[in-house]
């Protein structure tokens, strides 16, 4: 089985991943590893930049006894004009046990999954989905608050370009949360009713801020320094409108002083940013185990 989208996971598989991740999270703190994927080979193929996702998939593979091998795409034959399909056929011929792919085109992981015999995991495709990020966000919320059901989750910022928002908007409601999407009008998708940031944050239990993805913008935002933060970013004043013990999340990389005040991001009483990264390893261990070993 592949892990391409939140839609491709059953409710049972989601529950298994979250429970298993929780066990691995506890174990990893004591640096305990498993040999469940001993001798397996995981290919990491990232056509877009990554720090967290690439390193945590590799760490997850190693913690399960597998080896992770990264293709440095900019030094590969992709630079010589090889097509995505030909690259996939080439990698398939080496018989890896799983392939993790990030690509700037929506749907690229599906194209590769059609060709690969091994399971393919989507590590982010264009503006479409980033399913393991949503799973790690859900696991982090559950770890910190103890539940997801009944929570109000505000996801704010560049919704239009955010695969993180898209995957979370699918996953969190399946787990019983109310998701509110808000952002500057020019950064909202056309089919999503616009809510102001203040309306979304009011009484929220979780406030998830998103990076302004300037590399995907067709036109400059033209915002003056500090303007985005005061109009749409997470400031102390805005956070005060959320529920009293609301937690703050950000998938990273953060633009400090743009979508989030740096002090809030660093406030351990509020911010789950580091927890999200640590949980990312545990969730990716559970995901690799599910698709490679066929169960957790
Ligand atoms: N790291 C996340 C992603 O790749 C979020 C971001 O880049 O803003 O989708």
Distance from C-alpha of 27 to C-alpha of 256, rounded to nearest angstrom? 32
The Å distance, Cα 251 to ligand 1 centre, comes to 6
SS (H, E, C) 69-138: EEECHHHCHHHHCCCHHHHHHHHHCCCCCEEEEEECCCCHHHHHHHHCCCCEEEEEECCCECHHHHHHHH
Residue with the smallest CA separation from ligand 1 atom 8 is: 211
Whole-number Cα distances in Å, 117 to 47, 124, 286:
20, 20, 20
The Å distance, Cα 48 to ligand 1 centre, comes to 10
The Å distance, Cα 94 to ligand 1 centre, comes to 29
The pTM of the full predicted model, rounded to 2 decimals, is 0.97
The Å distance, Cα 252 to ligand 1 centre, comes to 6
pLDDT digits (tens, 9 = 90+) for 180-233: 999 999 999 998 887 899 999 999 999 999 999 999 988 888 888 899 999 999
At residue 89, does pLDDT exceed 90?
yes
Q: Which of 49, 124, 259, 280 should be mutated for ligand 1, with most atoms under 8 A from CB? A: 124
The distance of Cα 250 from the centroid of its chain, to the nearest Å, equals 10
Residue with the smallest CA separation from ligand 1 atom 1 is: 252
Q: What is the mean pLDDT of residues 276-295?
A: 96
Which percentage of the chain shows pLDDT scores above 70?
100
Q: For the chain, how big is the Rg over CA atoms in Å?
A: 19
At residue 12, does pLDDT exceed 90?
yes
At residue 99, does pLDDT exceed 70?
yes
pLDDT digits (tens, 9 = 90+) for 102-133: 999 999 999 999 999 999 999 999 999 999 99
* pLDDT number for residue 281: 96
Would you call 6 helix, strand, or coil by DSSP?
Answer: helix
Q: What angle do CA 158, 159, 163 make, to 5 degrees?
A: 110
Q: CB of 232 within 8 A of CB of 184?
A: yes
Distance from C-alpha of 257 to C-alpha of 266, rounded to nearest angstrom? 12
Instruction: Looking at the CA of residue 130, tell me the nearest atom of ligand 1.
Output: 9
Q: What is the mean pLDDT of residues 76-82?
A: 88
* pLDDT number for residue 100: 98
* pLDDT number for residue 220: 86
At residue 75, does pLDDT exceed 90?
no
At residue 30, does pLDDT exceed 70?
no
The Å distance, Cα 253 to ligand 1 centre, comes to 7
Q: Which of 162, 250, 280 should be mutated for ligand 1, with most atoms under 8 A from CB? A: 162
Q: What is the mean pLDDT of residues 245-253?
A: 98
H helices of the chain, where?
A: 11-29, 52-63, 84-92, 108-115, 131-145, 163-174, 197-201, 227-232, 236-239, 262-265, 273-288
* pLDDT number for residue 193: 81
* pLDDT number for residue 295: 82
Mean pLDDT, the chain, integer: 95
């Amino acid at each position: 089985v592949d892990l391409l989208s939140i839609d491709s996971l059953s409710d049972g598989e989601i529950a298994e991943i979250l429970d298993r991740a929780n066990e691995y999270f506890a174990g990893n703190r004591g640096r305990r590893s498993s040999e469940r994927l001993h001798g397996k080979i995981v290919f990491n193929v990232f056509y877009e930049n990554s720090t967290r996702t690439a390193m945590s998939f590799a760490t997850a593979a190693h913690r399960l006894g597998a080896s992770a091998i990264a293709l440095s795409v900019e030094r590969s034959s992709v630079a010589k004009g090889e097509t995505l399909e030909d690259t996939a056929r080439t990698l398939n011929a080496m018989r890896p046990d799983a392939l993790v792919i990030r690509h700037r085109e929506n749907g690229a992981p599906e194209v590769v999954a059609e060709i690969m015999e091994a399971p393919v995991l989507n590590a982010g495709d264009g503006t479409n989905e980033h399913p393991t990020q949503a799973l790690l966000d859900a696991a982090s919320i559950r770890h910190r608050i103890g539940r997801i059901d009944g929570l109000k989750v505000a996801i704010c910022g560049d919704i239009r370009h955010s695969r993180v928002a898209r995957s979370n908007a699918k996953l969190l409601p399946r787990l019983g949360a109310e998701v509110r999407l808000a952002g500057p009008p020019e950064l909202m998708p056309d089919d999503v009713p616009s809510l102001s940031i203040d309306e979304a944050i009011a009484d929220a239990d979780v406030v998830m801020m998103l990076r302004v993805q300037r590399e995907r913008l067709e036109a400059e935002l033209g915002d003056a320094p500090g303007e985005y933060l005061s109009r749409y970013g997470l400031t102390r004043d805005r956070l005060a409108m959320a529920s009293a013990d609301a937690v703050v999340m950000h998938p990273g990389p953060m633009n400090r002083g743009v979508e989030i005040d740096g002090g809030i991001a660093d406030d351990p009483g509020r911010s789950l940013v580091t927890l999200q990264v640590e949980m990312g390893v545990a969730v990716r261990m559970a995901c690799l185990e599910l698709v490679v070993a066929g169960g957790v």
